[in-house]
Amino acid sequence: MTEKEKMLAGELYASWDNELVHERSRARQITYDLNRTKDTETHYREQLVTSLFGSIEGDYSLEPPFYCDYGYNIHVGDGFYANFNCVFLDVCKITIGKRVMMGPGVQLYTATHPMDRDTRASGLELGRPITIGDDVWIGGGAIINPGVTIGDNVVIGSGAVVTKDVPSDVFVGGNPAKVIRSVE
């Protein structure tokens, strides 16, 4: 397997691989350009985001600045909205459903590091995909950790740190995030 194939499969991989370095550089150039656009440059912004993301279904809105590792692992549904200063570390797939809203500073981390000291010292990395259902609202400053799946109709409180899967129809908050109550 190539290092990219290992990365996408969630296996240990060498992030310094030339192909991956090149692809991160490409994403950084696109986000650099995106983050310097004017509000009136909506068509140019759309071109940049379309060239960056893996797929976009329908309408979306993304407020710069925005940062990601690769971009092509990000897949968003119709009605997606991300406020200012979101960070998506997309070494693995990030799948976002329909009508998902994110406050400013939301961070999605698929990237992680080995727990074993010797393996971690080798520099190898790995990732776990993130899946977010439909009709989800993620409050500002929330962090979604690697491997988390969030159900449909979920509200995540501002500043929450989501470390475990979240079932549908609940409000979660805190660090680590816990179910606070159901939502109708």
Give the catalytic positions in this structure: 113
The continuous run of DSSP H or E covering 60 comes out as strand 60-62
Helix (H, G, I), strand (E, B) or coil at 137: strand
Cα dihedral 35/41/43/48 (nearest 10) = -20
Tokens of 127: 């990732």
Q: Is the dihedral of CA 36, 39, 45, 49 positive or negative?
A: positive
Backbone angles phi, psi at 24, to 5 degrees: -65, -40
The continuous run of DSSP H or E covering 10 comes out as none
CA 92 – CA 103 distance, rounded (Å): 22
Q: Do β-strands 178-182 and 170-173 pair in parallel, antiparallel, or remain unpaired?
A: antiparallel
Write the DSSP symbol of residue 117: H
